Amino acid sequence: MPEILSVAWQAGTPLPPASIAAIQRAAATLAGGGLVAVPTETVYGLAAVATDPDAVARIFAAKGRPASNPLIVHVADAEAARALAASWPDTAARCAACHWPGPLTIVLPAAAVVPAIVRAGGDTVALRCPEHPVTASLLRILGRPLAAPSANRSGAISPTTAAHVAASLGNAVDLILDGGSCDRGIESTVLDLTDELPRVLRPGPVSRSAVETALGCRVEGPGGTTPAGRSPGLLPKHYAPKAQLEVVAASTERVGEQLRQGVEVGWLTCGSLDGGPLADSSRSGRLHRIDLPAEADSYARSLYAALHQLDAAGVDCIIVERPPQEEAWQAIHDRLTRASHRE
Ligand code: TXA
Ligand code: MG
């Protein structure tokens, strides 16, 4: 098991000395070429110093990540981001002013200081300024940018707790900073600013309309006309649990059907559903039911933990009650669609 350092923090108050000491240890590990898992407001990241190609290579090895999939670089502020971009358009300045620190990643032409391995050989770089006080403080203490994908094996569900990281990566990570459960629970919005028309490559906590408000112009959505290879990590199957996952409108019936076939079922409801007739199966241990909240932000916060829990329980299939269709649920639908993709 990797070493896990617990880091206490409270929004709006200075970090206690013990937390700063833990963050200083993490900074030393990173400066020495090590890998540290760090809490962010979205999911845990697996960090290395972005300008150290050998350390970054260890990220790819630890995750089993294809070399063709570039990494997000995390920075302390907009000034640090500018140093990594070949140009800083007005759109970038507006995004940073309105949404940083926060769960918005912007893609820009890369400056030469960004190693090719971080860019996966491309000429752009993804930049994000995280809001989580622990990682924000780490970036300031270290004084260098951090390349950090989600801290899970490639293709698996992103971690929202330190325990998820340890279970997925084990000793491949040198140190885990445990900052508790991630508040947002799903990965950042990725926004491509390299073209005339800004485009959301990956929906996330910052909605497309929030970006349009910040930029004062139209923003393209993901999918459809997205040029192939623009965001190599956005494969159809991603963020997937081990069990086969299905999203259905009338989940009670589907769950009943599966139980009658004798399989062990994980059931994610959206708001509490009346599954009265299925209560016997719950008691027999063949049905694992988790009621997720009917509000999008709270649902996002709990979704991955629920999927991790069902995987750990060893269910054969996961039935997800289809959430509402409004914009607030878009990123959740994106992740559920990927998780349910059959090869
Ligand atoms: O919330 C998050 O974004 C988390 C935390 C740790 O910051 N990170 C994260 O990283 O989700 P990762 O590597 O799991 O997902 C990053 C996505 C991938 O789909 C990748 O292909 C895309 O961003 N990406 C990275 N660099 C890119 C670039 N230069 N151009 C286009 N897409 C890029
Ligand atoms: Mg990931």
* pLDDT of res. 228: 45
| Number of other CB atoms surrounding residue 132 within 10 Å | 25
Give percent of the chain with pLDDT exceeding 90: 87
For the chain, give the mean pLDDT.
93
Q: Phi-psi category of 184—alpha, beta or left, where left has phi over 0 and alpha has psi -120 to 50?
A: alpha
Q: Where are the domains of the chain?
A: 3-215, 244-339
Which amino acid is present at 111? A
Any ligand 1 atom below 6 A from CB of 72 = yes
Give residue 313's pLDDT band: very low, low, confident or very high (50, 70, 90).
very high
pLDDT at 271 over 80: yes
Angle subtended at Cα 53 by Cα 235 and Cα 230, rounded to the nearest 5 degrees: 25
At the top level of CATH, which class does the domain 244-339 belong to?
alpha beta
CA gap 127, 249 in Å, rounded: 37
Residue written as token pair 């032409």: 109
* pLDDT of res. 323: 97
Residue written as token pair 């962010």: 40
Mutating to test ligand 1, I would choose from 73, 100, 105, 173 the residue with most ligand atoms within 8 A of its C-beta, which is 105
Q: Phi first, then psi: what are they for 168, rounded to 5°?
A: -85, -40
Q: Which atom of ligand 1 is nearest to the CA of 128?
A: 7
Per-residue pLDDT tens for 30-81? 999 999 999 999 999 999 999 999 999 999 999 999 999 999 999 999 999 9
Mutating to test ligand 1, I would choose from 164, 190, 234, 304 the residue with most ligand atoms within 8 A of its C-beta, which is 190
CA gap 5, 2 in Å, rounded: 10
Give residue 317's pLDDT band: very low, low, confident or very high (50, 70, 90).
very high
- In 3D, which of 50, 177, 9 has the Cα closest to residue 165? 177
As given in the structure block, the two tokens for residue 234 are 């956005």
CA gap 278, 333 in Å, rounded: 26
Give percent of the chain with pLDDT exceeding 70: 91
* pLDDT of res. 117: 98
Give residue 278's pLDDT band: very low, low, confident or very high (50, 70, 90).
low
State in Å: Cα 104 to ligand 2 middle: 15
Q: Which of 24-28, 231-235, 238-242, 281-285 has the lowest mean pLDDT?
A: 281-285
Ligand 1 atom 15, closest CA = 149
Q: Which fold has domain 3-215?
A: DHBP synthase (3.90.870)
Residues in contact with 283: Cβ distance below 8 Å, sequence separation at least 6, in sequence order: none
State in Å: Cα 116 to ligand 2 middle: 19
Model pTM?
Answer: 0.95
Any ligand 1 atom below 6 A from CB of 128 = yes
CA gap 202, 139 in Å, rounded: 24
Any ligand 1 atom below 6 A from CB of 117 = no
Per-residue pLDDT tens for 100-148? 999 999 999 999 999 999 999 999 999 999 999 999 999 999 999 999 9
CA gap 24, 273 in Å, rounded: 47
As given in the structure block, the two tokens for residue 26 are 């993490």
Q: Where are the alpha helices (H) located in the chain, listed in sequence order? A: 17-31, 53-63, 78-82, 90-99, 116-119, 133-142, 162-169, 208-215, 251-260, 279-284, 296-313, 330-340
Q: Which atom of ligand 1 is nearest to the CA of 150?
A: 14
Better-scored residue on pLDDT, 205 or 250 = 205
CA gap 244, 222 in Å, rounded: 25
Ligand 1 atom 30, closest CA = 231
Angle subtended at Cα 72 by Cα 159 and Cα 171, rounded to the nearest 5 degrees: 45
Contact status, residue 164 vs residue 36, Cβ threshold 8 Å: no
* pLDDT of res. 280: 57
- In 3D, which of 308, 269, 305 has the Cα closest to residue 287? 269
CA gap 55, 49 in Å, rounded: 7
Any ligand 1 atom below 6 A from CB of 269 = no
Mutating to test ligand 1, I would choose from 71, 72, 206 the residue with most ligand atoms within 8 A of its C-beta, which is 72
Partner residues linked to 147 by β-bridges: 48, 73
Average pLDDT over residues 303-310: 97
Please name which ligand lies nearest the alpha carbon of 70: 1
Average pLDDT over residues 298-302: 98
* pLDDT of res. 275: 61
Any ligand 1 atom below 6 A from CB of 43 = yes
* pLDDT of res. 272: 75
Per-residue pLDDT tens for 214-270? 999 999 998 655 454 566 666 666 678 889 999 999 899 999 999 999 999 999 999
CA gap 288, 15 in Å, rounded: 39
- In 3D, which of 171, 238, 217, 206 has the Cα closest to residue 3? 171
Mutating to test ligand 1, I would choose from 135, 226, 231 the residue with most ligand atoms within 8 A of its C-beta, which is 231
- How many CA within 13 A on the CB side of residue 188? 31
* pLDDT of res. 285: 67
Average pLDDT over residues 282-305: 91
* pLDDT of res. 164: 98
Any ligand 1 atom below 6 A from CB of 206 = no
Q: Phi first, then psi: what are they for 138, rounded to 5°?
A: -60, -45
